[in-house]
Amino acid sequence: MSSQNPLDSHHQDLSSRAMDYTVSSGRKFFGSLMTTLVILCVAIAILPLGSILFMLLKNGLGRLFQDFPAVFTELPPPPLVDGGGLRNAIMGTILTCLIGSLISVPVGVLTAIYTVEFGQGNKLSQFVRFCTNVLSGVPSIIAGLFAYGVVVLTMGTFSAIAGGVALSVLMVPIIIRTAEEGLKSIPREVRQGLVGIGATTFQGVFSVILPAALPFIATGVTLALARAAGETAPLLFTALFNQYDARSLREPTATLSVLIYNYAITPYKNQNELAWAAALIVVVLILAVSILARSFTKRKVY
Amino acid sequence: MTSEPISHSESLVESSQRFRAPRLINQIFRWLTLALAVGIGLVLVWITYSLLSIALPAIAQFNLGFLFTQVWNPVQELYGALPQIYGTIVSSIIALIFAVPLGVGVAIFLSEDFLPRRVLTPIAFLVELLAAIPSVVYGMWGIFVFIPAILPILQGVHKAFGWIPFFSTAPSTRQMFATGLVLAIMILPTIIAISRDSLISVPPQLRQGAYGLGATRWETITQVLLPASLSGIIGSVMLALGRALGETMAAAMLIGNANRVNVSLFAPASTISALIANQFGEASGLQKSALFYQALILMVLTLVVNMLAEVIVNRFQQVE
């Protein structure tokens, strides 16, 4: 940075014109240059978002409205066949996310209860927090390979269950963190009151603390769902894909995100269109959920 | 958080019979939550172990030479990871080169009062939305919008600077450089969010002191605020690096999956995660094992980066 010079010249300024303090033109120029640069940075950072949202609307909206119910109710067509919809993929996304949260919500919330209520910042809870943060940095494809090794190889088949397990690995850190925040937001007076009336931690947590921390936990779950709904890599080798409806949890299952991947890289126009429509659905879903999650914590309980 | 430990269970009236059942339930509950908390730590070990157990045949076959071999031949069953390791690291470096200045710039803008808070909050929200877009959508956007848009620019760069080895081949529609740019966009929110937090958390006295000495706003930023929040910014860059290293879908869709090292950034390349995403479906036997070996390398790489980031960010929080 060319930042030492202005201060030097500043010194000379001061000595020559004792009390008259003005900022030299060089320093002013440096300031306006940097201000322009950071505004440019913001513009560049927001440009891709604008472009992505615009293209999603432009390429996805038409298909969504053109054959309105069909996109949601029909199966994806084979190559070179027109029409079709995303029924199995929508169901699959809901299903895998549901299984993911069935695993990750209890595990995440109970872990947070240990670190905040029982552990109270001891060495073990610090270690758990460290592991949580490191776990949240594990690449999503590794979570997929993990679920492949643990679930798919054991069950002998690709399935929605394996997909859900892979997603739960990615959801757990988010849920632990937000649940911890929620539990910590309960004022100390409430805990002291619970001790005063002779409640055990178990009774206190389930009768008072958890209900009060619920908005935070709800935020965590929705944020985790938003992440899971868009994940593709962990599902590639776990839920795999299915041209048709999965008839049970033990079958390969189509999901919106894997469908986007498969259909975006084909040369067929109809499949590309379906990929855009699916992408629009996923992004709208995720944006809605993220905004919803913010509104949970806005109205604070305490 | 300096709340004193309040142990509900111990401070209760000890001997009364009727408290026995609730206390037993409490103990069981305590052990349950403890087991799950320990389980979170074990999951990391479990993940590494499960990768290792499937990678074992490939590790036995190729040893550490795997890391330095440039071959991927399923017919002769010869595998090496050099092109993927190279691609993973180089694409992440390209991403960082663009994302770090951009992200720190945006973080400065959002942490200063250039604009009223009413305007800044929606901008910060928009930046957060970048993180909410799924990577497969970035990949699709890259294929249909971004790469066609920047290809003419890259062609210009190739014409003007073709003598530099990095730009020596005509820009391909699937290439390392464009992938790095898309990765840069994807890791921006990470850098912005944490850098902004650490800039905001600089004690206001430092800023007031700098102003009192006659420093302008930008002199204060570059000479006081940025140095004071450096560890937070470095932590954010490490976390972003971790994300770029492991990013799968955008890389798999954009990088072109060429299993060789090419010095030119405009040529197709490959990353560890892209290779796995592309080949896992058809792989079996030793090839699948080799893919898990690659995954293990990626796991170790990201674990090291993330643990470093964690330590750096923690230290910054303690200083604060």
Identify whether B1 is part of a domain: no
Choose, out of A5, A142, A190, A261, the residue to mutate when testing the contact with B (most B CBs < 10 Å): A142
DSSP A142-163: HHHHHHIIIIIHHHTS--HHHH
The predicted structure's pLDDT at residue A64: 84
pLDDT digits (tens, 9 = 90+) for B84-131: 999 999 999 999 999 999 999 999 999 988 888 888 888 888 888 888
Please tell me if residue B192 touches chain A, with a CB cutoff of 8 Å: yes
Distances (CA, A) of A139 to A12, A120, A169, B295: 55, 30, 10, 10
Residue A34 predicted with pLDDT over 90: yes
Asked if A120's CB is within 8 angstroms of B5's CB, the reply is yes
Query: Residue B309's domain spans which residues?
Result: 86-319
Closest alpha carbon to A302 in A127, A183, A199: A183
Considering only CB atoms, which chain B residues are within 8 Å of A119?
A: 37
CB A281 within 8 A of CB B158: no
In whole angstroms, what separates CA B52 from the centre of its chain? 22
Residue A195 predicted with pLDDT over 50: yes
* Count of the separate structural domains present in chain B: 1
Identify whether B117 is part of a domain: yes
Considering only CB atoms, which chain A residues are within 8 Å of B84?
A: none
Please tell me if residue B13 touches chain A, with a CB cutoff of 8 Å: yes
Asked if A7's CB is within 8 angstroms of B51's CB, the reply is no
Segment B179-184 mean pLDDT = 97
Domain A87-298: which topology?
MetI-like fold (1.10.3720)
Residue A241 predicted with pLDDT over 60: yes
DSSP helix/strand/coil, A211: helix
Asked if B239's CB is within 8 angstroms of A137's CB, the reply is yes
Stated as kind and residue range, the H or E segment containing B73 is strand B72-73
The two most distant CA atoms of chain B are separated, in Å, by 88
The predicted structure's pLDDT at residue A297: 67
Instruction: Quickly state the pLDDT bin for A180 (edges 50, 70, 90).
Output: very high
Instruction: Quickly state the pLDDT bin for B13 (edges 50, 70, 90).
Output: very low
Distances (CA, A) of B118 to B121, B123, B124, B125, B214: 6, 9, 11, 12, 29
pLDDT digits (tens, 9 = 90+) for A123-175: 998 999 999 999 999 999 999 999 999 999 999 999 999 999 999 999 999 99
Identify whether B279 is part of a domain: yes
Distance of alpha carbon B206 from alpha carbon B28, whole angstroms = 50
Asked if A42's CB is within 8 angstroms of B109's CB, the reply is yes
Segment A220-242 mean pLDDT = 91
State pTM to two decimals: 0.89
Identify whether B223 is part of a domain: yes
User: Chain A residue with minimal CA distance to B292?
Assistant: A145
* Closest residue to B137, CB basis, from A6, A52, A140: A52
Residue B1 predicted with pLDDT over 50: no
pLDDT digits (tens, 9 = 90+) for B25-74: 999 999 999 999 999 989 999 999 999 999 999 999 998 999 999 989 88
Distance of alpha carbon B149 from alpha carbon B146, whole angstroms = 5
CB A200 within 8 A of CB B8: yes
Among residues 184-203 of chain A, which lie with CB inside 8 Å of chain B?
Answer: 184, 188, 191-192, 194-195, 198-203
ipTM for the whole predicted complex goes beyond 0.85? yes
* Closest residue to A198, CB basis, from B12, B221, B302: B12
Distance of alpha carbon A110 from alpha carbon A108, whole angstroms = 6
* Gyration radius of chain A over CA positions: 26
Identify whether B28 is part of a domain: no
Per domain, the residue ranges of chain A are 4-66, 87-298
The predicted structure's pLDDT at residue A12: 53
Identify whether B54 is part of a domain: no
Residue B141 predicted with pLDDT over 90: yes
Asked if B242's CB is within 8 angstroms of A282's CB, the reply is no
Closest alpha carbon to A227 in A170, A165, A143, A295: A170
Instruction: Quickly state the pLDDT bin for B317 (edges 50, 70, 90).
Output: low
Q: Cα angle at A137 between B264 and B285, to 5 degrees?
A: 70
Asked if B248's CB is within 8 angstroms of A141's CB, the reply is yes
DSSP helix/strand/coil, A92: helix
In whole angstroms, what separates CA B178 from the centre of its chain? 18
Considering only CB atoms, which chain B residues are within 8 Å of A40?
A: 105
Looking at every residue in chain A, the average pLDDT score rounds to 87
Which segment of B8-22, B226-240, B271-285 scores lowest on mean pLDDT?
B8-22
Residue A193 predicted with pLDDT over 60: yes
Instruction: Quickly state the pLDDT bin for A6 (edges 50, 70, 90).
Output: low
Asked if B136's CB is within 8 angstroms of A145's CB, the reply is no
Identify whether B286 is part of a domain: yes
The predicted structure's pLDDT at residue A22: 76
Domain at B289, CATH number: 1.10.3720.10
The predicted structure's pLDDT at residue B183: 97
DSSP conformation class of B223: I
Identify whether B41 is part of a domain: no
* Closest residue to B280, CB basis, from A195, A237, A287: A237
Segment B301-314 mean pLDDT = 88
DSSP helix/strand/coil, B72: strand
Residue A74 predicted with pLDDT over 60: yes
CB A217 within 8 A of CB A251: no
pLDDT digits (tens, 9 = 90+) for A257-273: 999 999 998 888 889 99
User: Chain B residue with minimal CA distance to A118?
Assistant: B30
Provide, rounded to the nearest whole percent, the portion of chain B with pLDDT above 90. 71
The predicted structure's pLDDT at residue A9: 53
Considering only CB atoms, which chain A residues are within 8 Å of B141?
A: 48, 51-52, 55
